[in-house]
Amino acid sequence: MDLSAVAAACPRQLPVADHYRKLRALGLAYGPALTAIQEIRVGDGVLLARLRLPSVTERDGFDLHPSLMDGALQTLGAFDGPGHLQLPLSVSTVTQSDALPPECFAYVTAMPAQPGDAVRAFDIRLLGDDGRELVFLHHLTIKRASGGEPAPPDKLRALLHRLRTGEISEAEAETAMEASLAN
């Protein structure tokens, strides 16, 4: 793939710090081991992002390092204007032709969607610096998270108290939190 042609199709550069702030405001707070996005360029239904394995992270023998793979998914938030929480739903196929190097590119194409669609689909190609496709996530779908208002703080404090005192396990607290967010 010709990276310079892809970059030309993505003329608008988004500040990475703003992108992570937007994700944090949606409840997705990434620590230093998961902040792989170095640059995001956006075009009409396409996106090119430069990803780098964070310095606090070790390669650890991963062919598809979780920090880089998650970084590719994090870029999807750049397609959603002011922002709504989107969660991965499915992927049709994942094809790997080589291991990901510590630095690579995510080339994302959005499938046509109607305004307000709860489910959207994308193709994500992870490319080497020579433009060679290393990983292809074909027809990855994401869904706008549903749910009502966040749980009231007193309910969250009570849940945290029950967890800290050992009244409930971490798994029970997680289940209760998910149920609270789904309502």
pLDDT given at position 20: 93
Residue 183 has pLDDT above 60, yes or no: no
pLDDT digits (tens, 9 = 90+) for 96-140: 999 999 999 999 999 988 777 788 999 999 999 999 999 999 999
Mean pLDDT of the chain: 87
Query: Residue 105 — φ and ψ, nearest 5°?
Result: -120, 145
pLDDT given at position 153: 62
Specify the CATH architecture of the domain 3-144: Roll (3.10)
Q: Name the band, by pLDDT with cuts 50, 70 and 90, for residue 15.
A: very high
Rounded mean pLDDT, 59-74: 91
| pTM reported for the whole predicted model | 0.77
pLDDT given at position 152: 57
Q: Name the band, by pLDDT with cuts 50, 70 and 90, for residue 26.
A: confident
pLDDT digits (tens, 9 = 90+) for 130-180: 999 999 999 999 988 765 445 556 777 787 778 888 888 888 887 777 776
Residue 25 has pLDDT above 80, yes or no: yes
Q: What is the domain partition of the chain in residue ranges? A: 3-144, 153-182
Residue 87 has pLDDT above 90, yes or no: no
